[in-house]
Amino acid sequence: MVWGIVGVRGYPLGEHVASNGVEFDPLFSLDLDFNLMLWRQENLYFFSDSSFYGQKAAPGITNPSQGSFDFSKRELDLTLGLAWNYYGYLEARAFTYSFNNLNRGNNPIAPSGFNDGTALENRLYLARTYADLGTAAYDPARASFVSIGYYPSKSMVDATGTQFKPGMFARAYLIADLWTERFYAFGDAQFISDRSFQATLLNLDAGLALRPFTSVPRLEFRVGTQDIFDLHNSDGEISVYGAVRYVY
């Protein structure tokens, strides 16, 4: 009845654009994908995705009391919604999102700036594991899908830090096994247009995943790149990460 993924990413290099348009150097992120089955007969469930970002220490955005573990809380991204497996491998989703600054915007001390809105999405799952939805056998990290959707509201920020009103979007999460199911390549790409249907953003998360321990088969290590490309201005932000995740 409950499933998801919990993990931590470390960023040795790269930049990220906060929801107020200010670039920062991420140090780590804590990620949680949580799902709760509400109506088993209809495969209706609640889902939540959240990421908490810590920022690398820098003048004006550091806390000397933390010593060698110095970092500054930077951003909390949260998505909440409902999903309904209404037929076969098809799933309808409705959700709300909120991207929040936690420590600073243009002000070096006070939080400033956020983006939020709502969305509708229809997914087609491509992996057989989706048939195990709502059971202990379901493996969301291996559940490939393609989807299309629409943001009826409200705002996002592009790779240059400029706010825009999102519109249509398309997403694909795909995996490919490399010699064994315990070692695979993954790619998660999302294309977003603005309200006038002009191509605006391409978000990409791609890399390699390894599950080395048969005694803990769902402990997963990832190396990858997390990128944002601005399709209006041919600009982008690229970061490299290593991650430890557990699929529960």
Average pLDDT over residues 159-170: 91
Residue range 119-139, pLDDT digits in tens: 999 999 999 999 999 999 999
CA-atom Rg of the chain in angstroms? 18
Q: Give the pLDDT band of residue 56 (cuts 50, 70, 90).
A: confident
Residue 237, sorted as left (phi over 0), alpha (psi -120 to 50) or beta, turns out to be beta
Whether the predicted pLDDT of 149 surpasses 90: yes
Whole-angstrom Cα distance, residue 168 to residue 95? 15
Q: What is the CATH number of the domain that holds 221?
A: 2.40.160
Domain count, the chain: 1
Dist CA 168 CA 65 (whole Å): 45
Task: Report the alpha-carbon distance of residue 174 to residue 145 in Å, rounded.
Answer: 7
Give residue 77's identity as a one-letter amino acid code: D
Distance, in Å, from the CA atom of 225 to the CA atom of 234, rounded to the nearest integer, reads 18
- Per-position DSSP letters for 113-161, written without gaps between them: -EEEEEEEEEEEE-SGGGGGTTSTT--GGG--EEEEEEEEEE-EE-TTS
What domain range includes position 213?
2-247
Highest mean pLDDT pick, 102-106, 120-124, 194-198? 120-124
* Predicted structure pTM score: 0.90
Residue 42's SS3 state is helix
* 41 burial type by CB count under 10 A (0-12 exposed, 13-18 middle, 19+ buried): exposed
